[in-house]
């Protein structure tokens, strides 16, 4: 039996000075029925070790950025070398041009780019820019998609297929929430309904082109094309939030995989190699409206900082090596098969939604194509499964709505170990 005594003690200490004991709510393990978050001490490759000395195979990958595993030698070397030359200048640097070029080459719709510090900032900035460019205020988003914690996107649906939002958090003015319309993902008719009602006021339709935030949910055939056509017909822009999907499934955005281009794209996570970063980009004609070229203000003391940029370059260079995504896909397939087999063998219905090296396990007998479907999956069973896997030494993303991220660092042995852990854990769930 693994013990977490040190984590328990540290959590009590943390609660004294850090609100809730965590610096981001999803680090609490309450969604999987645990009282104490686990305090990690160090990480290397596909593993991390907690303060009690337990080792885990890590499929959280820090909620996405660590696609190369932890302390990857190229990324670490880039960070050290850069740090020795100073970490922040408040002036432009040559490397920012290099990373911007790498992004544009991989995601051609990003004709011009601006670096920021987080995915939240990236999305927030695209919304301001879309509003500035169109002279309109309303935003349409899809139920269950998460776009960071800026005011305009912390808004959930009211009832009905297309609804004006209600704040999803305290502290967000009702007046702001009313500028956000929420419709179900994969439902072009609901989008149509919303645009018929409010189309001439809509600045942008914002979506994760492939959802990562109620688990991995792919757009249905033609959905993204329909989003583009409908938005543009209404004079609105299309914003893709590729903070999770960027460089996750191939070297670029999913927009290239699906052959649909948005007007603006938000990026984050992987493009910083684990250091704080975000970026947004789009058509030059739109991006030119950003200060200092245009009237839309957006700035950042830390934006484009040398450490994040160097780590990002090293990460993308490594990802661009041949075979990267094929290998992630192969490992993902092995885990998907193991989960389906284990579920079937003990008679527990499961769905696995997977795209290459990212997958979500839902305890439900119905395919999950939208937020409602994800909500219907059994949370208690997921919590028990999470805890059983933790006991086996496998650390999963701590919510039924999150994705497991396989990294280039996971070896075939790690995958085989995980397959056995999956079997053992399902045995414990057996009715
Ligand atoms: N967009 C998406 C799709 C995300 O998944 C996230 C974070 N999970 C964000 C935006 C916000 O990014 P950050 O946490 O870096 O602010």
Can you give the pLDDT at residue 362?
98
Who contacts 250 (Cβ-Cβ below 8 Å, separation ≥6)?
A: 256, 257, 325, 356
Fold of 73-319: 3.40.640
278 C-alpha to ligand 1 centroid (Å): 9
| 132 touches 125 (CB < 8 A) | no
Q: Is the ipTM of this complex over 0.90?
A: yes
From the CA of 63, give the closest atom in ligand 1.
Answer: 8
Cα angle 113-239-59, degrees, rounded to a multiple of 5:
85
Topology (CATH) of 5-71+322-429: 3.90.1150
* Helix, strand, coil in percent for the chain, rounding step 5: 45, 20, 40
- C-alpha 153/C-alpha 381 separation (Å) is 30
- Map out the domains of the chain as residue ranges: 5-71+322-429, 73-319
Q: Is 94 a catalytic residue?
A: no
Q: With a 6 A CB cut-off, is 119 part of the ligand 1 pocket?
A: yes
280 in active site: no
DSSP letter (8 states) at residue 220: P
Mapped onto helix, strand or coil, the DSSP state of residue 298 is: coil
pLDDT tens per residue across all 431 residues of the chain: 899 999 999 999 999 999 999 999 999 999 999 999 999 999 999 999 999 999 999 999 999 999 999 999 999 999 999 999 999 999 999 999 999 999 999 999 999 999 999 999 999 999 999 999 999 999 999 999 999 999 999 887 665 666 677 788 889 998 999 999 999 999 999 999 999 999 999 999 999 999 999 999 999 999 999 999 999 999 999 999 999 999 999 999 999 999 999 999 999 999 999 999 999 999 999 999 999 999 999 999 999 999 999 999 999 999 999 999 999 999 999 999 999 999 999 999 999 999 999 999 999 999 999 999 999 999 999 999 999 999 999 999 999 999 999 999 999 999 999 999 999 999 999 87
Ligand 1 centre and the CA of 147: distance in Å?
A: 6
> What is the reported pTM?
0.97
148 lines ligand 1 (CB under 6 A): yes
């Amino acid at each position: 039996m693994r013990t977490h005594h040190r984590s328990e003690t540290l959590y009590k200490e943390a609660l004294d000075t850090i609100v809730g004991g965590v610096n981001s709510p999803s680090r609490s393990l309450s969604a999987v029925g645990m009282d104490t978050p686990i305090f990690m001490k160090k990480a290397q490759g596909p593993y991390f070790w907690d303060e009690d000395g337990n080792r885990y195979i890590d499929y959280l990958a820090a909620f996405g950025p660590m696609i190369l595993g932890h302390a990857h030698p190229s990324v670490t070397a880039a960070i050290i070398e850069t740090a020795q030359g100073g970490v922040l200048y408040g002036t432009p640097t040559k490397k920012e041009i290099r990373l911007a070029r790498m992004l544009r080459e991989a995601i051609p719709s990003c004709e011009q780019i601006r670096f920021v510090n987080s995915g939240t900032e990236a999305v927030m900035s695209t919304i301001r820019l879309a509003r500035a460019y169109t002279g309109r205020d309303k935003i349409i988003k899809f139920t269950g998609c998460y776009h960071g914690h800026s005011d305009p996107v912390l808004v959930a649906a009211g009832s009905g297929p297309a609804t004006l939002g209600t704040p999803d958090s305290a502290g967000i003015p009702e007046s702001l929430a009313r500028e956000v319309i929420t419709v179900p993902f994969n439902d072009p008719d609901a989008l149509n309904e919303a645009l018929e009602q409010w189309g001439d006021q809509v600045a942008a339709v914002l979506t994760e082109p492939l959802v990562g935030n109620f688990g991995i949910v792919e757009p249905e055939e033609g959905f993204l094309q329909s989003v583009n056509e409908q938005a543009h017909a209404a004079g609105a822009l299309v914003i893709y939030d590729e903070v999770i999907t960027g460089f996750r499934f191939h070297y670029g955005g999913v927009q290239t995989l699906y052959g649909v281009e948005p007007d603006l794209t938000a990026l984050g996570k992987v493009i910083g190699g684990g250091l704080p970063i975000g970026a947004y980009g789009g058509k030059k004609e739109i991006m030119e409206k950003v200060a200092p070229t245009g009237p839309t203000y957006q700035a950042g003391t830390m934006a484009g900082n040398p450490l994040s940029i160097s780590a990002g370059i090293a990460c993308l260079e490594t990802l661009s090596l041949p075979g990267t995504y094929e290998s992630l896909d192969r490992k993902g397939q092995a885990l998907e098969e193991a989960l389906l087999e284990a579920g079937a063998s003990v008679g527990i219905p499961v769905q696995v939604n997977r795209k290459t090296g990212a997958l979500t396990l839902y305890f439900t007998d119905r395919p999950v194509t939208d937020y409602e479907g994800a909500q219907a999956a059994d949370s208690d069973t997921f919590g028990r499964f999470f805890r059983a896997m933790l006991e086996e030494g496998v650390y999963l993303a701590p919510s039924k709505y999150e994705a497991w991220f396989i990294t280039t660092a996971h070896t075939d042995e790690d995958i085989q170990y995980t397959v056995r852990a999956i079997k053992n854990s399902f045995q414990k769930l057996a009715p």
